[in-house]
Amino acid sequence: MTTYGSFPGTRPRRLRTTPAMRRMVAETRLHPADLILPAFVREGVSEPVPIAAMPGVVQHTRDSLKKAAAEAVAAGVSGIMLFGVPEEEKKDALGTPGTDPDGILQVAIRDVRAEVGDDLLVMSDLCLDETTDHGHCGVLDEQGRVDNDATLERYAEMAQVQADAGAHVVGPSGMMDGQIGVVRDALDQIGREDVAILAYTAKYASAFYGPFREAVASSLKGDRKTYQQDPANVRESMRELALDLEEGADMVMVKPAGPYLDILARVADAVDVPVAAYQISGEYSMIEAAAEKGWIDRDRAILETLTGIKRAGARNILTYWATEVAQKLG
């Protein structure tokens, strides 16, 4: 008599026999609405500028950004996270383009809102690194250190101009202590209780940001280890999570995604707000480079990594493949 519950009566391979069977029993499913497209817009260019370290990704013109936003809507993508790249001569120690209503990021927010309205969540990076001549995410003190509290004042101003420009969601990404509470207060002071905050809760001082520095024409000298998290730490992320929620975060995020799936899973298990993860530039570039060499199957690798990120607990994923993947899923 065959005994079920062990081999040979039980054969898990029965549930892997055909594509239809595997599709039916899949425990994790990607959907276009899971995806958010990060996009760069550069001031003063007449044609999109390819990013050498990120094949297939460009610094958009205002017009090409609007086209990319419309394509994302058509594919079913949920949101677009905008990063503005000002002209080099406009950068200064305070990151003035970040609070100028006519700064490139604010102009881009208005452009995209005019193009897609509420059909796509327009999300804005709330940080100074793209706009400062020193490339850090905050204001520097006399010793050249990032001044946390002086930076918070700048973030409050940025939140208000981004909301005025039409952002549905702001993403404070500088990892300053107290940034979520300050941004929430700044938005509420101008009657923008409707603008949501996506907190970069666990943002690690990662080696995988390299291509992004080219994408935003970063002027960074040194590193960001005094404000971004140590890759060795887990409990520190959970402390940051508790603080962000207490200060009013509507959504939380882990960045990078792939090297920190354990952190993502811990965060997802601990909260009842949406959890996002950012598949960052280095993760993108490694797959593209290996695929170009013929070492891996590009399409399978993309879907496998995104499925792994969702399986670990991400409700939403920021990925440079968002529109491409959404089109294929659709």
Handedness of CA 151, 153, 155, 158 (dihedral sign): negative
How far is the C-alpha of 157 from the C-alpha of 126, rounded, in Å? Answer: 10
Which is the catalytic residue, given 67, 203, 225, 293? 203
SS3 percent helix, strand, coil of the chain, rounded to 5, is 45, 15, 40
How far is the C-alpha of 321 from the C-alpha of 35, rounded, in Å? Answer: 9
How far is the C-alpha of 322 from the C-alpha of 57, rounded, in Å? Answer: 12
Other beta carbons within 10 Å of 305:
21
State yes or no: is 221 an active-site residue: no
State yes or no: is 90 an active-site residue: no
190: helix, coil or strand?
coil
Which is the catalytic residue, given 66, 67, 221, 255? 255
Residues contacting residue 308 through CB under 8 Å, at least 6 positions apart: 258, 261
Active site residues: 203, 255
